A and B are shown apart, each in its own frame.
Chain A
C-alpha cells in the first residue's frame, strides 16, 4: 500500500484548472465547422456537402420558384451544430472551399436555436434562367 502512496506523491498534480489553462488543439483537429457564405455555391445549385452529411446536419431550404426541379438553386444552407458529428467529409467535398473547421470545441449554448447557423442566398430570376440553360447543356 505504501508503494502506491509513494507513487501518487511522486506523480504529483497533473490536472489543470478549467478554463484557466486552455489546451491548444492539435493541427488538423476537427472542431466546429464554419460556412463562408461569400464562397458557398449553394445558391447556384451545389449540394455537394449536403449529399455527404450522414446526420443531416447540413440542409438546404429551396427557393420557392415553382418549378419543382430537383436541382433548383437553394435559398439558404443551414448547419445544425446540434446534429453535426464533426466528421469533416463536407470540408473535403466542398468544391469552393467554403467550409472549414476551426479549433473551437466549446459548443454549449443556452438556446437550441443558437446551434443553427444559416447562410442565405438571394435568388434572382437571372440566376434561375442561367441555371436552366446549364442543365439543358446549351450554355457553359
Chain B
C-alpha cells in the first residue's frame, strides 16, 4: 500500500501586514501554515530581512562590523542609503539610541528630524526603534509618527506602559507598530487584547525579545513557535500577528562574534535562520554579509 504523509491544514492564517508605501512597500505574514511548510499550505510572502542603522556613533562594535559602514557612519541618512543601494536591504531599522535618557538624552524633536532625513533618503520601508525607556519612547515615537505622517513606518517597541500613547499616534498618522512583551505568551496576548480595543490588529507585529545563539536562543525559539501554534492550531485571534526578531546587537556582543569576523557572521546568521524556522516574519540584522547569507539560504 502506498503511504501518504498526512497533511495538517489550518483554517486561519497569520495576518498580513504592509510596511512602507509605494512600489517598495513590503508585505509580511499571510501564511496559513508553519515556516517553510510549502508542502502543507500557502506562504504568500517571504520573510523580511532588515539592516539596522544607528542615529549615533556606535560604541564597542568589532572592527569587522564597523568596516562596511566606515565611510557613512557619522551620517544616518548616508548609512541608510548605502544599506539599500550597496547592500541591497529591502527594509531598514533606524535605532534612535541618541534618545536614551541614561545616555545622550536627545530630544524627541531631534530624533524626529533625523528620522525624516533617513526616510527621505530611501524608498524602502523603515522600522523606527526607541530605546525601551517607556516614557521617553512614548514622547519620541509620537513625535516621529507626527513628523513623518503617512509614511507607514513600523514603530517600536510598544510596551505595556506606553502602548496607548504610541498606538494612538500611529493610528492617527498611518503607521504600524511592534508590540513587545518579553518572553511570555500570556503577556503577549494581554498586550494584544489591550491594543486591539482601539488599534487595527493587521497593523501589529509582535516582538517576544530575542537572544543570541548560546545566550538563550532556545527560549526565544520556543516562544515564537508557541505563538505561531496557538495562533494557527488553536485559532487564537489575538496571536495571529506576524513576528519580528531583533538580535543583531545580542549576537555581536558575544565573545564569539568579537573574536573573528567569519565566526561573528555565522553567529548572527545561524541565530537568524533559527528564528525563521521558529516562525519569525522579520529579522533585524547588523552585518550586510549576514543579510546576504540568510537571503541565499532562504531563496534556495
Q: Do A and B come from one complex?
A: no
A interface, CB within 8 angstroms of B: none
B interface, CB within 8 angstroms of A: none
